[in-house]
Structure 1
Amino acid sequence: MDRADTSARIATVIEPFNKKALPVTDDTSFAADLEWDSLTVMDFVAAIEDEFDIIITMNQQAEIETYGQLIDAVTKLRG
């Protein structure tokens, strides 16, 4: 799976979490732009893990601040 495919699948998963209906780019910050609280982040991470059948550790989550970083992390975890 390449980065574009990963991005498309994540875009589908993020849609119900994007309450502000903001356009999402690689630079979109989950905390600053989408204004997600920790519960929303945890729910979203669980949805991503289910979608891709992966585990994102707490340490990895702490390093992922933007949509682009998430795409790269999921792409890497998928191999």
Structure 2
Amino acid sequence: MTSSTNDIRVHVTGALQAAVLRPAEIEGRTRIVQDLGLDSLAVMNLMMALEDHYDVSIPLDRVAEIVTVDDLVRAVTQLTQNERA
């Protein structure tokens, strides 16, 4: 699936908004756990949903490095670009 960084950002933001279940301002520097309050199960469900949607695999060591929305968008963008290469 070919997606631009902006398309990925829109999708990730929507997925995070759905996971939070309350109105939240989600920006690039928003921290997924600390600011949005997602627990480890919610984070893993989010990662699995993104993997399914973009047909990529996010390695667990990479998940541990993802702190902000920008980190997540960057990781998904890089993985989708690697899939196309």
Larger radius of gyration: 2
SS at match of 1:11: helix
RMSD: 1.1
SS at match of 2:10: helix
For structure 2, which runs of at least 5 residues remain unmatched after alignment? none
Aligned length: 79
Out of 21, 28, 31, which is 2:23 matched to? Answer: 21
Match of 1:59 in 2: 61
Out of 67, 72, 81, which is 1:70 matched to? Answer: 72
Q: TM-score scaled by structure 1? A: 0.91
SS at match of 1:71: helix
For structure 1, which runs of at least 5 residues remain unmatched after alignment? none
Instruction: Point out 4+ residue stretches in structure 1 off by more than 3 angstroms.
Output: none
Match of 1:47 in 2: 49
- 8 A contact 1:10–1:71 mirrored in 2: yes
Shift of 1:16: 1.5
